[in-house]
Structures are given as C-alpha cells and as structure tokens.
Chain A
Amino acid sequence: MVPASYYLALSAMLFCIGVAGFLIRRNIITIFMSIELMLNAVNLTFVTFSYQWHALSGQIFVFFVMVVAAAEAAVGLAIIIAVFRTRETLNVDQVNLLKL
C-alpha cells in the first residue's frame, strides 16, 4: 500500500539528480549518462500514472521514450567519438568553438 506519490517523489528526485549531474560533471560521457537517468525518471512517472488512471497509453509512451533514447544514445555517442578524434579530450569545457 505504497502511495503513488512516493513513486512520483522518487521520480522527481532521480530527475533532479540527473540535472545536477548534467551541470556538475565535466566528462561528456558522464553527462550523457545523466541524460539517460533523466529519461528513466520520466519513464517511471509515466508508468506510475498509467497505473493510477488505468491507462495503457502511458506505457506505450514509455515504449516510445525508450526507442528515442536508444536512437539518441547511438547518435550522441557517435558524435562524442567524432569530437574525441579532433579534440583528443573528453572535457566538455574544451568543446567551446561555438563561442561568440
């Protein structure tokens, strides 16, 4: 008999840890992983609400989120590899050529 709001609270906390990780970490790959963490937290929220309202479409959406996350991960890591080849570093502070 766990209140649904506990699940939501957990999801919120995971999400914010993801955000914090995104902001604090310097390694590109770790930043990427924080993004994945955020997506997972959102997935938890969707499933919780799907249980709450007995609506299947919540889980469908989770499905789609996962697909997108997979695609994004693939492309993103490819970009990281390309950046690594030119810059020889994984420090995100050094990828600043878009500076005005």
Chain B
Amino acid sequence: MLHYILFFLFAAIALGGALNLLFQRHPINSALSLILVMMSLAVLYLLLGAEFVAAVQILVYAGAIMVLFVFVIMLLNAGEEERSRTSRVAYLAGVPGALAVLGLLLYSVFAHNSNFGSVQLGTYLVSTGALGGLLFRDFLLPFEITSVLILIAIMGAVVLGRRDS
C-alpha cells in the first residue's frame, strides 16, 4: 500500500518537474525543476532497492552536474527566452516523432505486461559491497577507461573554456 502511494507520488512529482522543465521560459527555473526530477528519481531508485545508485544520483547528478548547470546559467546571465522563428521541421517531424516513440514504447511495454513481475519494496536489496565487487572485478576495464574519460573531459573543458588571450 505504502509502496503504491510512494510510487505514484514521486512519479507525479517527476513528471510534473519534467513538464515544468519543458514549459518554463527562464532557464534557471528549468534547472531547478530538473533537480526536483532527479530527487524524485532517487526516491524511486530506493523503492527499487538500489541504494547506492540513489545515493550517487543525488551526490553526482543533483549535487554536481546540476550545480554546474546553475553556475553556467548564472555566469552567462541567461535571460528569458525570446520568441523567435523556430524550425518547422522540429515541430512538424520532431514532435510527432517523439509522440510516436512514446506510443510505441508504451505499447511495447504494456503488450508484454505479463512478462514483467511487480515491484515489492524490500524484496531485493543490493549491497554496495556486491556492487563494488562486480565493478572492480568484472567491469574493471570499463572502470579504468571511464577514469581516462573523465580526465579527457577535464582537459577538454579547461581548454574550451579558456579565453583566447
């Protein structure tokens, strides 16, 4: 019962935040809505028994990445969006395309409804140790590569952000 309530509540919050992101004119509002979405997603992860992922979601995503976004918005002093000519293709082909994708995905999910079980809070918990063991044993190579990736990203960001002087 509780699960139901929690799920629908935070699902609604997530959706609301997403739609708010879509419809807000000032980017800072969109950023804050996105933080809201991420928070609620973290709760949903907890409902699914993924503690570590939920924690990392808040720490990294909401705490670091979104802060970075807010920094940039403040730095560039982005104002409200003006009305300007838009691309017709984006509206004519893109939005129906997105809606089509949505329809297809929903269809494919609900057509195989019987294949999926149900989520029960507490039936499956992942310990961080197990996750660590998997990460540092089976997925060691991708792990190392991602560290290189981060290094490259840092260098790239520094180079790109430099003033030409």
Give the B-binding residues of A (Cβ under 8 A): 1-10, 12-21, 23-27, 29-30, 32-34, 36-37, 40, 43-44, 47-48, 50-52, 54, 56-57, 59-60, 62-64, 66-75, 77-82, 84-85, 90-91, 93
- Pair count A-B, CB < 8 A: 239
Query: Contacting A2 at CB < 8 Å: which of B3, B31, B149, B153?
Result: B3
Interface membership of chain B positions 132-165, coded 1 if the CB is closer than 8 angstroms to chain A and 0 otherwise: 0011001100100010011011101111110100
Name the A residues within 8 Å of B11 (CB-CB).
Answer: 6, 10
Residue of A nearest to B65 (CB): A73
How big is the B interface, by class?
35 or more
With A4-B116, A71-B149 already in contact, the answer to whether A23 and B65 are too (CB < 8 A) is no
Name the A residues within 8 Å of B119 (CB-CB).
Answer: 1-4, 7, 48, 51
Contact between B98 and A54, CB atoms less than 8 A apart: no
Query: Contacting B69 at CB < 8 Å: which of A7, A19, A77, A85?
Result: A77
Contact between B19 and A84, CB atoms less than 8 A apart: no
With A2-B119, A27-B27 already in contact, the answer to whether A9 and B3 are too (CB < 8 A) is no
Interface membership of chain B positions 78-116, coded 1 if the CB is closer than 8 angstroms to chain A and 0 otherwise: 100110111100110011011101100110011011001
